[in-house]
């Protein structure tokens, strides 16, 4: 049991790391890739950037004002002291107002930029080929659009941009300190080299820690998505305890990854605080020595304002450095997420690339032609081998065969969900690889075995992808005998929950038939469309199928051979090859694979009866 669990953990880890994101990426390059999104909202960012030096100057002016106020107090100049006190108050109020506007515009721009990035990531994911999703856990895909984008958004709210404001403050503080007393300023700056060395030391390790956190959260999301999707099976086989232990094990990996990041964060924060304390003590000691060296008491007294100002400057000087230490962890986390986001955007396995030709309205030859088609999902494991046949316009063709014989794969290639070999699949005389993929798919209605319904209303699901037409939807519902079902669920405005879980499998099948009839397209694919309905409903659906397929080029995949007796032609697939072809009566007379399948099917039905 433990061995199996460890193998699953290794599988999840492999799925989380297979994009090769363990290779470090230059921070500047990542920020550069964010620039196009920032540029879209340049006005907001420009306002925020213009206000940054103003805010830094107002902050740096306050300790200087304190110096002159203390000098006035020592000199017992009350009027001058009052003026500087009012000036200090004005500087504080102005800094607050400017800071509010700067923070608001920056965060507003950041949210708009990350919203644009989130949309681009989602749109790119939708354009990826099915082969990408065959090998990519859903949890990892969800993580890109949610957790990683949210982490990147913090670069604008508490990360890189506010860090730039802190650096500006440091620059203004340094200039003000040097203007007031160059020697004291240089003495203060002695603390910077060791601090920068330590920051760089922690920087390299923090990036690695936050990358590990991203991997771990992707594992958690992947496992959670799998377990929630298969919860009924988990409960049926009493696997709750084992699943909880597996999740706890993955969760421990996530906790350990966070521990590492927290350790570096705490160490960096503590080091900055310690260096700041040492710097203050050193400056006070140095300043005391300077004051004692002054011969005149008046000069020594005047030096008090400088010492007080420097104490305030140092306190302020190390606050941005301390904040930079905290924000640096946010920056590292954001950049680790940026690596993964842009790696996803760089995936070039796009769906339906290259085809631009429209689908012809009319064609004199076959509606569908398959020429010597071979296909494999994995090298060396062919699913289809040298398949060749044609389907005429309006012909109803059934495809039968054992599980894994390639029936559904063929329909996926017709829709170009997977890329067929060039020159092997033709619709109305055009190679599907040369057709515009939207034009190609808009010619097909599909009723799959596993019907997917989206959250919304029954009308939304029937009119999927088009502007809803209530009268047209009612007509489609009546044609597939789904009227009583829809009426029992509140009519066309009846609620459909997530994935249609408030409908049975057979009810979802009926709505999928209504969807296909509603769209009224020239090609119809029924993939085990009656697999999840009872015998009474199946009889009704057979009548609906007859009306729905009339005058349309139809491909009907079925295990229930009773549903395809009236097909114009039946294709029998066996181990990825086209083994037999003909009408029901012709194939029964051949005494081949179809006849054996037919005999097994009806023998099974008689036993059940």
How far is CA 54 from each of CA 58, 99, 293, rounded to the nearest angstrom? 6, 9, 38
Are 7 and 75 contained in the same domain? yes
Are 399 and 302 contained in the same domain? no
Are 428 and 309 contained in the same domain? no
Are 469 and 378 contained in the same domain? no
Confidence (pLDDT) at 159 = 58
Distance CA 565, CA 583 (A): 8
Distance CA 314, CA 191 (A): 11
Distance CA 209, CA 259 (A): 9
Structure tokens at 139: 């949890």
Residues 6+ apart with CB under 8 A from 576: 382, 383, 384, 385, 387, 405, 406
Are 476 and 406 contained in the same domain? no
Confidence (pLDDT) at 294 = 55
Confidence (pLDDT) at 31 = 73
On average, the pLDDT of the chain sits at 81
Mean pLDDT of 311-324: 78
Tell whether the torsion through CA atoms of 175, 176, 182 and 185 is positive or negative: negative
Which of 494, 520, 546 marks a domain boundary? 520
Give the total number of structural domains in the chain.
Answer: 3
- Give the HSE-up count for residue 236: Cα atoms under 13 Å, Cβ half-sphere: 5
Confidence (pLDDT) at 462 = 92
156 vs 385 pLDDT, higher one: 385
Mean pLDDT of 477-497: 89
Are 221 and 255 contained in the same domain? yes
Are 462 and 499 contained in the same domain? yes
Confidence (pLDDT) at 459 = 92
Confidence (pLDDT) at 408 = 87
Confidence tier at 500 by pLDDT (50, 70, 90): confident
Per-residue pLDDT of 41-62, as tens digits, reads 889 889 988 998 999 999 999 9
pLDDT greater than 80 at residue 272: no
Which of 317, 345, 373 marks a domain boundary? 345
Which of 460, 488, 520 marks a domain boundary? 520
Distance CA 70, CA 401 (A): 95
Instruction: Dump the DSSP string for 419-463.
Output: -PPTTSEEETTEEGGGB-HHHHHTTEEEE-SS----SEEHHHHHT
Confidence (pLDDT) at 540 = 66
User: 356 with 299: CB under 8 angstroms?
Assistant: no
Mean pLDDT of 494-507: 85
The H or E element spanning position 609 is none
Distance CA 466, CA 445 (A): 13
Cα radius of gyration (the chain)? 35
Are 529 and 398 contained in the same domain? yes
Distance CA 292, CA 49 (A): 44
Are 169 and 260 contained in the same domain? yes
User: Tokens 């081998």 belong to which residue?
Assistant: 385
Task: Kindly report the CATH number assigned to the domain that includes residue 206.
Answer: 1.20.1560.10
Nearest of 373, 191, 172 to residue 282 by alpha carbon: 191
User: 513 with 529: CB under 8 angstroms?
Assistant: yes
Nearest of 375, 335, 328, 527 to residue 445 by alpha carbon: 527
Residues 6+ apart with CB under 8 A from 15: 135, 136, 137, 140, 219, 222
User: 310 with 178: CB under 8 angstroms?
Assistant: no
Are 292 and 153 contained in the same domain? yes
Task: Kindly report the CATH number assigned to the domain that includes residue 484.
Answer: 3.40.50.300
* Residue 248 region by backbone torsions, left for phi larger than 0, else alpha for psi between -120 and 50, else beta: alpha
What DSSP character marks residue 553?
E
User: 422 with 336: CB under 8 angstroms?
Assistant: no
Mean pLDDT of 349-366: 82
pLDDT greater than 50 at residue 606: no
Other CB atoms within a 10 A radius of the CB of residue 597 amount to 18
Using a cut of 0.75, tell me whether the model's pTM lies above it: no
Distance CA 156, CA 34 (A): 11
Domain range holding 475? 452-520
Confidence (pLDDT) at 607 = 46
Per-residue pLDDT of 395-454, as tens digits, reads 999 998 888 888 888 988 998 988 888 778 999 999 988 889 888 988 998 888 788 888
Which of 466-474's residues contact partners 24+ apart within 8 Å by CB, and which partners?
466/519, 472/518, 473/514, 473/518
Are 391 and 299 contained in the same domain? no
pLDDT greater than 90 at residue 146: no
Adjacent-strand bridge partners of 556:
398, 526
Sheet holding 430-431, edge to edge: 381-391, 368-378, 425-427, 430-431
- % of the chain residues with pLDDT over 70: 86
Distance CA 575, CA 489 (A): 43
The H or E element spanning position 388 is strand 381-391
pLDDT greater than 60 at residue 5: no
Are 511 and 566 contained in the same domain? no
Confidence tier at 391 by pLDDT (50, 70, 90): very high
Per-residue pLDDT of 115-135, as tens digits, reads 899 899 999 988 888 888 888
């Amino acid at each position: 049991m433990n061995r199996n669990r460890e193998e699953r953990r290794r599988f999840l880890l492999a799925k989380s790391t297979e994009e090769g994101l363990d290779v470090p990426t230059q921070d500047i390059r990542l920020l550069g890739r964010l620039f196009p999104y920032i540029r879209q909202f340049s006005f907001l960012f420009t306002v925020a950037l213009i206000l940054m030096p103003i805010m830094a100057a107002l902050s740096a002016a306050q300790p200087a004002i304190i110096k002159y106020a203390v000098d006035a107090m020592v000199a017992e100049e009350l009027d001058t002291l009052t003026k500087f006190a009012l000036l200090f108050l004005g500087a504080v109020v102005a800094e607050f107002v400017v800071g509010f506007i700067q923070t608001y515009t920056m965060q507003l721009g950041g949210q708009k930029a990350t919203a644009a990035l989130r949309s681009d990531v989602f749109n790119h994911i939708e354009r990826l080929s099915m082969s990408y999703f065959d090998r990519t856990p859903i949890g990892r895909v969800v993580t890109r659009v949610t957790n990683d984008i949210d982490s990147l958004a913090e670069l604008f709210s508490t990360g890189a941009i506010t860090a730039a404001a802190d650096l500006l403050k440091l620059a203004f503080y340094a200039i003000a300190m040097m203007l007031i007393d160059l020697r004291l300023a240089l003495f203060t700056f002695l603390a910077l080299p060791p601090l920068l060395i330590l920051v760089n030391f922690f920087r390299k390790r923090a990036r690695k820690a936050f990358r590990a956190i991203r991997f771990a959260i992707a594992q958690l999301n992947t496992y959670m998505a799998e377990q929630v999707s298969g919860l009924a099976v988990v409960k049926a086989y009493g696997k709750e305890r084992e699943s909880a232990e597996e999740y706890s094990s993955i969760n421990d990996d996530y906790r350990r990854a966070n521990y590492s990041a927290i350790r570096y964060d705490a160490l960096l924060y503590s080091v900055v605080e310690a260096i700041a304390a040492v710097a203050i003590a050193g400056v006070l000691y140095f300043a005391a020595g300077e004051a004692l060296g002054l011969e005149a008491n008046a000069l020594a007294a005047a030096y008090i304002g400088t010492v007080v100002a420097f104490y305030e400057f140092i306190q302020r000087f190390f606050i941005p450095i301390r904040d930079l230490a905290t924000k640096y962890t946010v920056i590292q986390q954001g950049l680790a997420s940026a690596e993964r986001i842009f790696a996803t955007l760089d995936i070039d396995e796009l769906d339906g690339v290259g085809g631009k030709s429209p689908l012809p309205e009319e064609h004199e030859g076959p509606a569908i032609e398959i020429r010597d088609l071979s296909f494999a999902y994995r090298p060396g494991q062919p699913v289809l081998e040298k398949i060749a046949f044609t389907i005429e316009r309006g012909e109803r063709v059934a495809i039968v065969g054992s599980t894994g014989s390639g029936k559904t794969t063929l329909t996926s290639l017709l829709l170009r969900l997977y890329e067929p070999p060039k020159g092997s699949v033709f619709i109305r005389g055009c190679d599907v690889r040369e057709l515009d993929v939207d034009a190609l798919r808009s010619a097909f209605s599909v009723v799959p075995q596993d019907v997917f319904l989206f959250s919304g209303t029954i009308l939304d699901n029937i009119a999927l992808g088009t502007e809803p037409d209530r009268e047209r939807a009612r007509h489609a519902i009546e044609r597939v005998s789904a009227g009583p079902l829809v009426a029992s669920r509140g009519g066309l405005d009846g609620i459909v929950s997530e994935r249609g879980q408030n409908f049975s499998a057979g009810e979802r099948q009926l709505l999928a038939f209504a969807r296909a009839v509603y769209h009224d397209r020239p090609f119809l694919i029924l993939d085990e469309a009656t697999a999840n309905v009872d015998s009474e409903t199946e009889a009704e659906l057979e009548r609906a199928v007859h009306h729905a397929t009339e005058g349309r080029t139809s491909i009907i995949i079925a295990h229930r051979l009773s549903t395809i007796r009236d097909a114009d032609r039946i294709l029998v697939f066996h181990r990825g090859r086209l083994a037999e072809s003909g009408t029901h009566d012709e194939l029964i007379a051949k005494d081949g694979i179809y006849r054996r399948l037919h005999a097994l099917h009806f023998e099974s039905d008689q036993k059940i009866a």
